[in-house]
Structure 1
Amino acid sequence: MPASLLAWGEPHLAITRAALDVLPQWQKDTLGVELKNLGDNYCLIPDHVYTDKANAKYAAMDSQPGEVYIKKLHLPVPEQSGNLETLNYFVAKAVASLKENNIGDAARYMGTICHMLEDFGSPSHTIPGDNMFTLLQQFLPPSEKMQGLLLHGPIENGTFKVSIEGYQPRLLGTTVEEAAWRMLHRVHEGIINARSTTLPIINALNAGDEEEKLKWQLKAATFDAQVVADAMHTILCLGAQKFEDKAQEQLRSVSIATFWPEEALSLYYPQTQFAGSPHWGHARVGVVMEGGNKPVPIRLRVNENQQVVESTFKEGISPVMGKPLTWHLPKGIYKRFTVIAGLQAGIGDKGRVEFTLLGDGKPLDTLTLNGTDAAHAFNCDITSISHLQLTTTGRGLDPKSNYAVWAQPVLRR
């Protein structure tokens, strides 16, 4: 087995068990004896495909015939579409097995999903292309004790108990496609969380501080368990077609302000996504970067009670000119997309920007706004759209004032 790809190891069991512990009782009853097997064995299936040949088929994909060890079950590929394909495939397999009352097969497919989500959220899988951290060690030289050691194993290894007692798993969708799509964005949160733990763990290893190392490992493992709990809960709801009214209501709309667009390969913006207007940089979430170095709250002029007033928005994206932002959508789930577009009050007053929304490459709506104009509320039909793209183009004489904002971008059923 390619040892260089293994992540978490035995902690997989602790994370999966913690997730299963918080499932509703009816879901535990559905799994029956397979509940224990899922937490004790099936969550390791993708790591054991060469030694547990009877279960290896539950970590295989039709799109990769003959491939025994599928790397993208352990390491996310840069493009979201590849990871979404994997989630769609295994979620569909698990749900179909549940509907056929084949609980054994369902639990094994669920184990593969657990493993994938947990590996993606592992601190040892956080740096694209540097799985052994050999490049990172050139920037962060190891201590004498760690000299010459590959860091992948030490970063993740350990024996610890994970608990998310009191956590209430979230429903991620009422169809396989919607569930896989939301699962993808949920695990993106897990990846970013894990990245915040990697350097503290390495620093603790260099210092020989086991307690500090464990603290940061648990930060990653605890978040992983919550992501896995959401996924297992959703799959079991889909299999039984059993959805609480409140949970369905919460799915009626979703903000994509914090969802990584497809241009952010491996969940960061490569320099190809940088531009010089309104400043040198890339798209930001929740703030506008005044001058490129000062984050300020999003403020737009809006029409309110027949007058124009300034309003602050917590949710929004401040793009750079000429760099589109694209999101894959689960087709047929959402009917409308609403967003408030305008220029940042004050520093954007001298700007002039064309705002364009595209669905599957075709224009949905477009409008050019001056810096002092009131923001415009777009409301577009996206019923049959699978890719939504937002673009901004400078149309004025002062490119340094083109502080464009897409505020409250929301998909609605």
Structure 2
Amino acid sequence: MCFVCSYRSTKPKSADADHLKASSSPSQALHPYIVRSPGQSGGGSRRSRKLYEEIAGNGQGLNDEGTLSYAPISLGLDASNPSRFRYPLTPPEVKFRIGVISDLDAESADPSDPGKWLSYLREGNLYIQQDKLDPSKTNISVEWDESAIHVIKSGLAYSGRGMELSTLNVFNGRLFSCDDRTGVIYELVRDGSLEIIPTPWAILADGNYTGGSFKCEWATVKDGDFYVGGNGRDLVTPEGKIIKNSKFVKRITAHGEVTHLDWAENFDKMATALNIHFPGFVVHEAAGWSDILDKWMFMPRYVSSEKFDINALRHSGSNVVLMADEHFDNVQVGHIGQVIPTHGFSGFKWIPGTNDQLVVALKSLEVENKQQTYIMAFDLRGNVLLPETKISDQKFEGIEFI
């Protein structure tokens, strides 16, 4: 898999630029992504000025203050110029705060509090040392805070089930998660160090506002709106009627206004790229839009050319990565890691500050009454940077940088 050849670099959005901006205070350390110009505080040797000019000339983009608005995490040896060596010798390590959220299915019912359902938000740190000379040697690791597991409770349910949270996203500076049982999008509000209050923000109806609850499985932010999608699989009633409600996507403004988008054609284009045709199926639970790449990326949980069967479903796990332009006119297919039939992608995020070239993802297992969650990381060249590593005997489906 190598999607990097189709990568199109654009200047980060203003929010990202603000995040990457170096402090103007000399007493504060520079952000590791930023290289100051020689004319700024800190001066710079002839070598640093030359390096600055070379980087600036590569189209990274200077802002009005003369600071690179985007630069690599580590400036390593240029393969085309062996005389330039890495300095410092050890790439800097960058730490990000991450969170994952659980979808426990029927186990979400709180045994100690009848009439309540619960989910867990687990926090930890993701560490990255990016090797620009040899990307396959980039080091990514995760450490979890065993004491920072938040219990999130709600009394909202649909048909006796609730709080089966499948997504985790930062949108407009707030943290949201969608319950795939009720179709409720919650804003997760901290109340103290461990308690989190789930505040209903939007309720999503199924299909084209046809009633019932929307089974939300993935979410992303695009052009200032919040997109929440279904799994893209056709449902067939006992009478043979095909229901396409799971092929709808909800576009939600910052004010909570919902537009129902029929994405059947887009989902079908992705299935066709995989040579999957009905009654075969593709189930999506991990998707995102990249402003930097100007592309959609989908990582299906299940892919099968056979007719849907719940038992066979659990053994059709996928290692597929799909990249598509905005209108899905060009869908590229890649694979990452090995196929483990019981493991499928349930969520991912691009790692900030990497030009959306590095990805951290969750894979879930559901077999009979057994649940497990694994985390992995890779780059768009196909290098696995963190092999699948088990993080829980419960099912976590949403991941976010918090």
What TM-score, normalized by structure 1, do the two folds share?
A: 0.23
Structure holding more strand per residue:
2
Q: Could you state the TM-score of these two structures normalised by the residue count of structure 2?
A: 0.23
